[in-house]
């Protein structure tokens, strides 16, 4: 276990598409954690950060934004989804801004010296290097067929499309090997909730047992 010097824990939640990481974060939030979505942070950056917008337009053209300045997410996805080099280019532009925003949130919370848990949902925690900012990373895991079924039902998409999206992500086995903790989400909602409650209590226990040697 890592030695803690802060009483605000920053926890990452990641996993492959259809694993249930969003549901895990919602349960954490209901229990009292503060939850943030890396996708939401990225969208806000791509729509409000002038430098990021300029870089994206140079890389992918002006038509990835609407006349009102909103990101055309479908258009950008169409450009980068099937071409790994373009996907890496988009990530290289956006990820540094997201990491900076995450760091700011963590520092702000810790400056308040409050007991609590910050939960960051991000599909690309390891790929982006965000794990370096976090105290712990939870990987939400599930068997491939279960994940396929969930995404097809949720998005109304084909099996082939979901498999392509899975292929674009870091293999689940690699994430599990890197994880501090793993939640296996192959069962029902109550089983998932019980697992999240266990980790919430564990993190709160870690916080309560942390030495009060916070930064001055």
Q: How many residues does the chain have?
A: 216
Per-residue pLDDT tens listing for the chain (216 residues): 444 455 889 999 999 888 899 999 999 999 999 999 999 999 999 999 999 999 999 999 999 999 998 999 989 988 988 888 999 999 999 999 999 999 999 999 888 877 799 999 999 999 999 999 999 999 999 888 888 888 888 878 888 887 777 777 778 889 999 999 999 999 899 999 999 999 999 999 999 886 544 433
pLDDT given for residue 216 in this prediction: 32
The reply to whether the predicted model has a pTM over 0.85 is: yes
Which pLDDT score, from 0 to 100, does residue 119 have?
Answer: 97
User: What pLDDT, in 10s, does the model give residues 125-136?
Assistant: 999 999 999 999
Cross-strand pairs, 11: 119, 136
pLDDT the model gives residue 161: 81
pLDDT the model gives residue 210:
65
Burial annotation 71-104 (CB, 10 A radius, 16+ → b, else e): beeeebeebbeeeeeeeebbbebbbebbbebbee
Domains of the chain, earliest start first: 8-209 (3.40.50.300)
* Residues forming beta bridges with residue 138, ordered by sequence position: 13, 181
- Measured between alpha carbons, how far is 109 from 115 in angstroms, rounded to an integer? 9
- CA 161 remoteness from chain centre: 21
Provide the pLDDT for residue 215. 36
């Amino acid at each position: 276990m890592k030695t803690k010097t802060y009483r605000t824990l920053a926890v990452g939640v990641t996993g492959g598409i259809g694993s249930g990481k969003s549901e895990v974060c919602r349960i954490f939030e209901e229990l009292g954690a503060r939850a943030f979505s890396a996708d939401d942070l990225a969208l806000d950056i791509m729509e409000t950060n002038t430098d990021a917008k300029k870089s994206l337009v140079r890389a992918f053209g002006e038509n990835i934004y609407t006349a009102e300045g909103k990101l055309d997410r479908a258009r950008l996805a169409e450009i980068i989804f099937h071409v790994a080099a373009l996907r890496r280019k988009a990530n290289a532009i956006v990820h540094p801004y997201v990491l900076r925003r995450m760091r700011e949130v963590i520092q702000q919370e810790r400056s308040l010296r409050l007991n609590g848990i910050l939960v960051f949902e991000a599909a690309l925690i390891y790929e982006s290097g965000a794990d370096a900012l976090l105290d712990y990373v939870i990987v939400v895991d599930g068997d491939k067929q279960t994940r396929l079924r969930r995404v097809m039902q949720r998005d109304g998409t084909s099996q082939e499309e979901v498999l392509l999206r899975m292929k674009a992500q870091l293999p689940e086995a690699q994430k599990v090997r890197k994880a501090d903790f793993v939640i296996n989400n192959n069962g029902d909602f109550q089983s998932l909730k019980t697992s999240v409650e266990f980790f919430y209590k564990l993190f709160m226990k870690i916080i309560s047992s942390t030495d009060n040697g916070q930064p001055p």
